Chain A
């Protein structure tokens, strides 16, 4: 029984590898490097049907069609920018996992830094308040009062001894 389970586990484990490779297996590449480059390119493109999957991984029909288009453009020696332009003209910036820098995406790109600066400001103020509490400058009058109080205190201690 145990060996059957082990065999099943190994079999399924190996099959899971094939499942990932399936999406691109219908395309022919001249070299391993070329295949890797195409995989990297399609991994940057979002599948619009299953939005958490890239074009390299998705089995959706539209993803297959778009892979075919991207492959054709890629075989025509089109640059990555030209391929991105082709897709963005049809599906918008959303199709790219890396959004381009432009006014409508400023909040996306700079928002986190802005929040970080606010955090720094709040933190510095909090720290400053803390240190200010410690450094209280005493006037001469205060000094004298302090001295007399301490003296009283010492006197009291002496007395209780």
Chain B
């Protein structure tokens, strides 16, 4: 008899331990989460309207409508952005693979600095747009450079890469997403 009544009583002392372990589990996961990674509200929304001059020909304007019918990757970068330097080789690789057109958005940058950057590191972009004031960046919800948006032929944003793209992203995210967008069976 005494053993039976004692068993649940003893278990009760373990309740705080379990609660602690649950909390510790959440906090432990929190250690590996990036508070800077804010989920974009623009996923599955149409691309914001823009009409921007290009870096190599300021007379030439490229607008949202011009990009209709193409699957493209919009890469927001700047010559003052340190993380962009590491990312640039990845962009060069993507360009050489020829899997998707990359359009650069030179964000809040000096044209001369942007041109020098591309001369030094190579130009993976099909076209480079200039957003000197950062106004278009705001419409895209840009809060830290680099950021990249994968846009489908309908002009809908299908995926956002926050922070620099890396090599595993190409195989792990970019190619599967492109297949999904283009309706390719894997």
Is A152 part of the contact surface with B, judged by Cβ < 8 Å?
Answer: no
Check if B38 sits within 8 Å of A90, measured CB to CB.
no
Of all chain A residues, which has the CB nearest B39? A92
- Checking B39, B134, B140 against A65 with a beta-carbon cut-off of 8 angstroms, the contacting residue is B134
Residues from chain A with a CB closer than 8 A to the CB of B36 are 51
Q: Does A62 contact B (CB under 8 A)?
A: yes
Of A49, A61, A69, A90, which one neighbours B41 at CB under 8 angstroms? A90
A48 to B37, CA, bound (A): 10
A90 touches B141 (CB 8 A): yes
Docked pose: A94 CA to B141 CA in angstroms: 12
Query: Quick check: is A4 within 8 A (CB to CB) of the other chain?
Result: no
A13 to B175, CA, bound (A): 56
The reply to whether the CB of B143 lies closer than 8 angstroms to some CB of chain A is yes
Question: CB within 8 A of A88: which of B39, B41, B135?
Answer: B41
The answer to whether A91 touches B108 (Cβ under 8 A) is: no
Q: How far is the CA of A49 from the CA of B133 in the complex (A)?
A: 17
Total contacting residues, chain A, CB less than 8 A: 14
B-side interface size class: 10 to 19
Contact B143 A49 (CB under 8 A): yes
Using a CB-CB cutoff of 8 Å, which residues 112-138 of chain B contact chain A? 133-135, 137-138
A94: chain B residues at CB < 8 Å are 38
How far in angstroms is the closest Cβ of chain B from A57?
16
A85 to B: closest C-beta gap in Å: 12
* Of B41, B133, B134, the contact of A91 (CB 8 Å cutoff): B41
A92–B138 contact, CB under 8 A? Answer: no
Contacts of A61 in B (CB 8 A): 108, 134
Tell me whether A41 is interfacial, beta carbon within 8 Å. no
Chain B contacts of A49 at CB under 8 A? 143-144
Measured between alpha carbons, how far is A69 from B142 in the docked complex, in Å?
Answer: 14
Separation in Å of the B41 CB from the closest CB of chain A?
4
Residues B38 and A66 in contact, CB atoms below 8 Å apart: no
Q: Which residues of A have CB within 8 Å of B40?
A: 92
Smallest Cβ-Cβ distance to B143: which chain A residue: A48
Q: Which residues of B contact A48 (CB under 8 A)?
A: 38, 143-144
B35 proximal to A (CB < 8 A): yes
Cβ of A89 under 8 Å from chain B: yes
- Assuming A61-B108, A65-B134, is B141 touching A91 (CB within 8 A)? yes
Name the one of A51, A69, A88 contacting B138, with C-beta atoms under 8 angstroms. A69
Within 8 A of A (CB), among B37-95: 38-42
Q: In the assembled complex, which residues on chain A have CB atoms less than 8 Å from the CB atom of B141? A: 90-92
| B139 part of interface (Cβ distance < 8 Å) | yes
Q: Whole-angstrom distance from the CB of A64 to the nearest CB of chain B?
A: 9
The interface centre, meaning the residue of B108, B134, B143 with most chain A CB atoms within 10 A of its CB, is B143
Q: 23 A-B residue contacts at CB 8 Å?
A: A48-B143, A48-B144, A49-B143, A61-B108, A62-B134, A62-B143, A65-B135, A69-B135, A69-B138, A88-B41, A89-B41, A90-B41, A90-B138, A90-B140, A90-B141, A91-B38, A91-B41, A91-B143, A92-B38, A92-B39, A92-B40, A92-B41, A92-B141
Residues on A facing B (Cβ under 8 Å): 48-49, 51, 61-62, 65-66, 69, 88-92, 94
